[in-house]
Amino acid sequence: MIMKIKFPLKRILTLSLLMLTALGCTTDDELIENLDISREFAPVGLEFFIRTQTTVELHWNTDDNVDNYVVEVSENADFSNLVESVNVSSNEIPVQILLAAETFYYIRVKAVSSRGLADSNWSTITAQTFAEQLFLPIQPGDILYNQATLRWVPNSVVTQITVEPGSIVYDITPQEMADGMATITGLSGETTYTAILLNGSNVRGGMSFTTEVDPSTGTVITPSDNIFERVTNASPGDVLILEPGDYTAQVGTITLDKSLTIRARYSYDKPMLKVSVSIVTGATDVSLIDLDLTGDLPTSLTDVVRFSAAGDFNSLLIRGCNVHDYDRSFVAGNVAGATVNSVEINNCVVTNVITNGGDFIDFRNTNALNISVSNSTFDHCAPMPGRDFFRVDAAGNLNGSATVNILLESCTLYACADSNSRRIFYVRFNANEITSRNNLITDTAVEAYSDQSSTDETIVFDNNNYFNAPTLYDPSVARFDTSTTYLTLDPGFADPASGDFTVTNQTIIDNQIGDPRWR
């Protein structure tokens, strides 16, 4: 049977190169009144995503004239032996098909006619599934410094767990198999392990985890201790390990004049402190790990961390911290003669740093040569009327003789630098190299990435998403995302007003954009 169908020229131009050639002499406004076809058009835009390691999710563009499709899956290119054959209606797309682990598949899709035409030709794609994953997410308290409780889908057929490093082989009992849980002992503190779940020689799951700090490697502090005295009495290089609890009755500035690590005993149960940290000469290496830090305006706790004296400082690490309610800056330095080689912020959630009288990350006379901000969430940091997110001035001892490197990677920024006269990168240091990649930036009236001629002219941009943040990809501003990889999708945050930035937009999840904790 042959049918005659009306199509506008724009639709025809997308169908095939042969048809484009045939229509080459038509005018721009011409309407193709009749097109003789004997079969449905093959599905276009066919693509796949791997969900939960072994589930293939298929997408393709639907056709208004087609209600049903057939999907066939085979391990053979000629489809001589089908693994799956599925009938799919238009309203069931995307469709998910559970397949075997670590297998290469050939997949094809055709349109089924409901109007007397022949079915379409096949559209074909290939997909590779991953190793099976029966391990379940880690729960608070599962991982300690010397042991790890691992969980999997209960009643799964599994026989062993292997753990590296250490060449640990753990035989799973029938009761553990039924419960979906086993505890591996004999581990070392602050070590990253890889566990493989096996049924005989078949891999049924894999995961990595990092053990907690071994309390014997530092000085353990409790909420009843005077934390300021403990810091004063510590020796250079000491590790102060804080037990869980509320330390906020002790309010003040911790002044560090020696290298020191202040950290939680348990990453999942952060001690609460109401302090500011002042780094002065002698504090070459400072680490703040897994703490809950809050400010206090009446007692002038306006900065989280400030370099307050001259000196050659090697590193500042802020990792795994919840930071909230400071009136001025997150990290800052405005002292001549102070140089910081490395500032690293990783896996933090920072909320309500207001930037009254300062910028969010603010280095003026103090030179910070390498600034890395990754895997973190920033909620109302430099909010309206706002200040700059990064500020690095053309000042200090090394301006003109060194290069400042700034990395912003895999972060979620919500209502930050929220002013049409402020910037993400207000960088004026003589030589600077900047990278912004895998970031989710939303709900900001920020002027631009930068409006400064001295800011890196070739900022590296890759795989960012902007929503309600149009100036960050606006070519009329001085520094904007010049890549072809950015998106402008609504992330569909679960509850941003309550600090829940869980992403519901599947494309953003698939592209691994933003702070990993929310996807």
Query: What are the tens digits of pLDDT across the range 197-216?
Result: 999 999 999 999 999 999 99
Judged by DSSP in three states, 441 sits in strand
Q: What is the C-alpha separation between 478 and 261, in angstroms, rounded?
A: 41
Task: Report the Cα 494 to chain-centroid distance in Å.
Answer: 16
**CB neighbourhood size of 47 (10 A):** 12
Q: What is the C-alpha separation between 457 and 256, in angstroms, rounded?
A: 37
pLDDT, tens only, 40-76:
999 999 999 998 889 999 999 999 999 999 999 999 9
Q: In the predicted model, what is the mean pLDDT of the chain? A: 93
Pairing of strands 202-210, 331-333: unpaired
Q: In terms of residues, how long is the chain?
A: 519
pLDDT at 163 over 80: yes
Per-residue pLDDT, 93: 95
Percentage of the chain exceeding pLDDT 90: 90
pLDDT, tens only, 237-261:
999 999 999 999 999 999 999 999 9
Q: What is the C-alpha separation between 170 and 188, in angstroms, rounded?
A: 16
8 A C-beta contact, residue 80 and residue 48: no
pLDDT band at 32 (very low <50, low <70, confident <90, very high): low
pLDDT, tens only, 364-411:
999 999 999 999 999 999 999 889 999 999 999 999 999 999 999 999
Q: Which CATH number fits domain 39-128: 3.40.190.10, 3.40.718.10, 3.20.20.70, 2.60.40.10?
A: 2.60.40.10
pLDDT at 39 over 80: yes
**b or e along 83-111 (b: 16 or more beta carbons within 10 Å of the residue's beta carbon)?**
beeeebeeeebebebebeeeeebbbbbbb
Per-residue pLDDT, 5: 40
Which of 37, 23, 7 is closest to 120 using CA atoms? Answer: 37
pTM: 0.87
pLDDT, tens only, 1-25:
444 343 333 333 333 433 333 344 4
Which of 349, 332, 330 is closest to 290 using CA atoms? Answer: 349
Q: What is the C-alpha separation between 180 and 275, in angstroms, rounded?
A: 42
Per-residue pLDDT, 396: 94
Pairing of strands 55-61, 44-51: antiparallel
Give the bridge partners for 240, in sequence order.
219, 262
- Residue ranges per structural domain of the chain: 1-38, 39-128, 147-210, 302-518
